[in-house]
Structure 1
Amino acid sequence: MITLTELNAISKDKATPLKELTKAQIAELQAALLKLGYLTGSIDGFYGYNTCNAWAKFMDDADIDHEADSINTGSIGKLQQMLNDPIGARGYDFSTKTGTIEAIKCECICHGIGLKTQIAYVLATADHETNHTFKPVTEAYWLDDPDAYLKKHHADYYPYYGRGYVQLTWDYNYEKFGKLIHKDLLAYPALALEPEIALFVLVHGFKTGAFSGRKISDYINGQVTDFVKARYCINGQDKAHEIAELARHYLAAV
C-alpha cells in the first residue's frame, strides 16, 4: 500500500498548486495515480501535462471541486482512501465463470472503464485469452508441461512467460505490476495466476496501455467504437475479428 507521507506534509490551510510541490511530493502523487490507473508513463518527480491531466481525471471521478491544478487535505484524503482499497478487498467470487465476469465488470468500472462498449471488449479479450474458461492461464497451457516447453523454447523470457486473464510477459512487466500491487512478482511469477492479481493486470493494462502502449480509450470511447483495432491494445491484429465478434456478443448482454 502507498502511504502518502510526503503529500501529507503540505499546508493544511489552503489548496496548494501542483507546480509548487516538491519533487518528492510529485513523485509520490505520480506513484499513487499510476497505481489507480490515471497516469501512464514513468515516475520522475517532475510536474507536467501528464501528471496534471491524470490528477484532473482523478478529481473528476472522485467528485472533488477545488481547482484542478491544485491539491488540498480533502483531495489527499480521498486519494489515500482509494489507495487503501487493496486487491482482493472487494470480495469478488472467482469460483464460477459468472462470478468472474461480474468481477471484471465491476473492476472496469472502478478503474474508470465505464462504457458498455469498453467493458464488452475487456470481457471478450478475457474470454479469448483464457479459451472461454475465464480462469487465469499460462502461455502454452494446452501442452502437458508448458513450463518445460517454455524453458526450452523461450529461454529469452523464461520464467516470465504469459500468465493471467491476458498474458503478462517479460521480467520488466512482472516487476512493474509487482511494484503497483506490492507483490514480488519477480521472485514469485506464478502469483500472476492468482485471480485478484490477474484481474488487476487485465483492467489496469487496458486503462493505461501497459501491454502495447495503446489504451482501450484510443479505440473505444464516446465518439468511436472499433472492436477490431482495439486488439492493438494487446497483440497487434491477431484474432482481431474473432474477438470483435465476441465483444459484440457481450455488448448485447452488458
Structure 2
Amino acid sequence: MKLKELVAITRKTDINKLTEEQIKELQTALNQLGYPVGDIDGLVGPKTRSAWSEFKADVYEEDPVLINPDFIAALQKRVEDAGEAQDNDFSTREGTIDAIRRECRKQDIGSNAQIAYVLATVEWETNHTFKPVREAYWKSEEWRKNNFRYYPYYGRGYVQLTWDNNYKKYSQILGVDLVSNPDRAMDADIALFVLVHGFKTGTFTGRKITDYINKNKTDFVNARRCINGTDHAREIARLAEDFLNAL
C-alpha cells in the first residue's frame, strides 16, 4: 500500500490534528504490520495511540503523539517490505509449511515454539490437509445458509475467519473486498496473512500468541485460547510438540 494521505505531512505534527483519512491510512498501515489499532475508524483512540507509540519505539524514541516525515518514510518502507511477494508454493503440504514459517517471521512471530504452535493449529483446523477450509466443510452450502446466523460470513481459511466485522476488518487491512466476496478468504495468500496476523494481534479471541508462548514460557495447552477456548487444546499441544522437535 502507498501512504497517499500521510505524505502530505511535511513537519512534526500532533496525531490528534490529522484528518480522518490520514488517521485511517495510519491505522491501516499499523494494523497490517501487526500493531493492533482496533477498528479502522479514523479516530485517535487508546488502541491507535498505543499502536503508534509501539511502532515509534521500534523505530526510535520520540514524543509518542508526534508524527513527522521520517516516521512516515519508515512506516512506508516497512509496509512495502511486508507486502513483498513471496514465491509460496501452496500445492504441497511442505510448501505450505514453508510459507507459514516465512509469514510468521515476516510478522515477527519468530521463535520456533511460536511457529510450531501456528503449524499445529493449521494441521488441526484443516483436518491435516494444510488447505484453507470452510466451516463445517463436510456440509453443503445450503446447510450453512440455513444453520449459520452469520451467513455468508462463516468461517473460512487456515483458521476460521467469521462474522462480518472481521471480514470488513481484513478488507481494510489487505485492500481486498472480502465483504462483497467472502470466498476470497479461501485464497491461500489471504488465508495465510489472516492466520498469522490474527495470532499476532489477538483478532480471533483477544488473546495473542505472545500471551502464552514467549521467552519466559511455552504454554502450548492454553495457547489454544488464541483461537477457540480450550477446544481440543491438548491434542493440538501434542502436535505443536512434534513440530517443535522437527524445526
Picking from 114, 121, 140, the partner of 2:117 is: 121
Matched, 1:39 2:39: no
Partner SS for 1:84: helix
Picking from 239, 242, 249, the partner of 2:235 is: 242
- Aligned-partner residue type, residue 110 of structure 1: K
Change (3 A) 1:230 1:73: same
Picking from 3, 26, 37, the partner of 1:29 is: 26
Distance in 2, matches of 1:233 and 1:109, equals: 18
Partner of 1:105: 101
- Aligned-partner residue type, residue 8 of structure 1: V
Change (3 A) 1:93 1:169: same
Matched, 1:77 2:70: no
Partner of 1:4: 3
Change (3 A) 1:233 1:246: same
Deviation at 1:227, TM superposition (A): 1.0
Deviation at 1:85, TM superposition (A): 5.0
Which deviates more from structure 2 when the two are superposed, residues 116-125 or residues 34-43? Answer: 34-43
In structure 2, runs of 5+ residues without a counterpart are none
Question: CA offsets, 1:112-133, max 9 Å, x none?
Answer: 1112211111111011001111
% same residue: 54
Distance in 2, matches of 1:167 and 1:74, equals: 38
Q: Please give the TM-score of this superposition, normalised by the length of structure 2.
A: 0.88
Change (3 A) 1:87 1:77: closer
Partner of 1:94: 90
Q: Please give the TM-score of this superposition, normalised by the length of structure 1.
A: 0.86
Change (3 A) 1:176 1:52: closer
Distance in 1, matches of 2:61 and 2:13, equals: 10
Asked if structure 1 preserves the Cα contact closer than 8 Å seen for 2:135 and 2:160, the reply is: yes
Distance in 2, matches of 1:33 and 1:164, equals: 23
- Aligned-partner residue type, residue 33 of structure 1: L
Asked if structure 2 preserves the Cα contact closer than 8 Å seen for 1:40 and 1:209, the reply is: no
Alignment map for 1:224-239 (pairs within 5 Å): 224-239=217-232
Number of residue pairs matched? 246
Partner SS for 2:123: helix
In structure 1, runs of 5+ residues without a counterpart are none
Which deviates more from structure 2 when the two are superposed, residues 26-35 or residues 117-126? Answer: 26-35
Deviation at 1:34, TM superposition (A): 1.2
Question: CA offsets, 1:198-223, max 9 Å, x none?
Answer: 00110111111111111111111222
